[in-house]
């Protein structure tokens, strides 16, 4: 059966390395990285994500600040909170917890964020630089960056391999496909309009899935020996769980483990890497701001 790619332990390793870098920065220049988080409204899932991010910051010594705005705040209030972080030299990374309430236009908000503090990597300048050859984005979106890191740390060769990415969202699928190309894979993109997606995925040496559809990818969609990175995090009803639901991926795990050579579990695969990459992006940003090497 397949090797399980242990995202939790890889992420722990990265976090402890970040912790020592933050200490080294503090000891040599008396500064620490700072993260500003903007959260609008009270979505339960967003609150959990924000809390987890802040706890992770604290653990490695990154100073985090959250600006919590009410659900019905105006665009101007939100822009004001953003610009407060933007002009604050002790804040090196800013993230706006998405999704925003309907009345706020996500695109317009992201446009005013300084690309230098865009630790989520969602600003069009950073995304554009990620897409263009010969250019370097200041930040790479955390989840796809975590996927690549899992491949590299598991010793998976990417150069020259066939990769299939399922999903083309701005947050995961699109940047994952761009990153895999940067690593010289030949990339196919599968999305909701793709006909016979299994014909594409079954040729791929590497499959990254971010569709948000539980058990979409069956064992017969996969090439024997392939490596699977399952980004999907889908709640399914399970009365035997305390919360009444549990999380599963996009891949039918029980079938896939019999076919592939390595796979990430859900939970415990990509999820922990996303936060580790956020910390890493914030540290990199502070190092750049203080010219600290
Ligand atoms: P999204 O809904 O924005 O995008 C889904 C993409 O999948 C779309 O491009 C769509 O075309 C494609 N798709 C939908 N149904 C499909 C189908 N039947 N066949 C092929 N393609 C299909 O979602 P997202 O924000 O990219 O998130 C995707 C999944 O990843 C979700 O389960 C989400 O919870 C999870 N996620 C996990 C993390 C993490 O840190 N682990 C981070 C972000 C998202």
| Cβ of 212 below 6 Å from ligand 1 | yes
Residue of 159, 135, 165 lying closest to 250 (CA atoms): 165
Report the distance separating Cα 276 and Cα 14, nearest Å.
Answer: 7
Second-level CATH architecture of 142-271:
3-Layer(aba) Sandwich (3.40)
| Cβ of 216 below 6 Å from ligand 1 | yes
* Catalytic site positions: 53, 97, 120
Task: Tell me what the mean pLDDT of segment 54-61 comes to.
Answer: 98
Q: What CATH topology corresponds to 30-116?
A: Rossmann fold (3.40.50)
By most ligand atoms within 8 Å of CB, the mutation choice from 166, 233, 250, 252 for ligand 1 is: 233
Share of the chain above pLDDT 70, in %: 100
Cα of 191 to ligand 1 centre, how many Å?
A: 9
* Each residue's pLDDT tens digit, 8-39: 999 999 999 999 999 999 999 999 999 999 99
* Equal CATH topology for 30-116 and 142-271: yes
| Cβ of 64 below 6 Å from ligand 1 | no
Share of the chain above pLDDT 90, in %: 98
Cα of 175 to ligand 1 centre, how many Å?
A: 12
* Each residue's pLDDT tens digit, 181-222: 999 999 999 999 999 999 999 999 999 999 999 999 999 999
Per-domain residue ranges of the chain: 30-116, 142-271
| Cβ of 7 below 6 Å from ligand 1 | no
Tell whether ipTM is more than 0.90.
yes
| Cβ of 233 below 6 Å from ligand 1 | yes
Q: What confidence category does residue 255 fall into, taking pLDDT thresholds of 50, 70 and 90?
A: very high
């Amino acid at each position: 059966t397949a090797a399980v790619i242990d995202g939790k332990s890889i992420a722990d390793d990265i976090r402890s390395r970040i912790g020592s870098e933050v200490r080294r920065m503090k000891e040599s220049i008396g500064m620490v990285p700072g993260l500003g988080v903007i959260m609008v409204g009270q979505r339960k899932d967003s609150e959990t994500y924000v809390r987890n991010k802040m706890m992770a910051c604290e653990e490695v010594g990154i100073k985090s600040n959250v600006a919590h705005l009410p659900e019905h705040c105006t665009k101007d209030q939100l822009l004001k909170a953003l610009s407060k972080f933007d002009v604050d030299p002790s804040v090196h990374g800013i993230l706006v917890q998405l999704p925003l309430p309907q009345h706020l236009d996500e695109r317009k908000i992201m446009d005013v964020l300084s690309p230098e503090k865009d630790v989520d990597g969602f600003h069009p300048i950073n995304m554009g630089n990620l897409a263009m050859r010969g250019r370097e984005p200041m930040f790479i979106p955390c989840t796809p960056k975590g996927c690549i890191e899992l491949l590299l740390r598991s010793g998976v060769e990417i150069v020259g391999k066939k990769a299939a990415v399922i999903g083309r969202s701005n947050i995961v699928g699109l940047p994952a496909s761009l990153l895999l190309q940067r690593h010289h894979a030949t990339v196919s993109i599968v999305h909701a309009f793709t006909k016979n997606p299994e014909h594409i995925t079954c040729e791929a040496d590497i499959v990254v899935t971010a569709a948000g559809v539980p058990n979409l990818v069956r064992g017969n969609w996969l090439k024997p020996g392939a490596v699977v990175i399952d980004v999907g995090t889908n709640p399914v009803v399970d009365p035997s769980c305390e919360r009444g639901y549990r999380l599963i991926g996009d891949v039918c795990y029980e079938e896939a483990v019999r076919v592939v050579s390595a796979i990430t579990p859900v939970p415990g695969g990509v999820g922990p890497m996303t936060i580790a990459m956020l910390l890493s992006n914030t540290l990199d940003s502070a190092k750049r701001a203080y010219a600290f090497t």
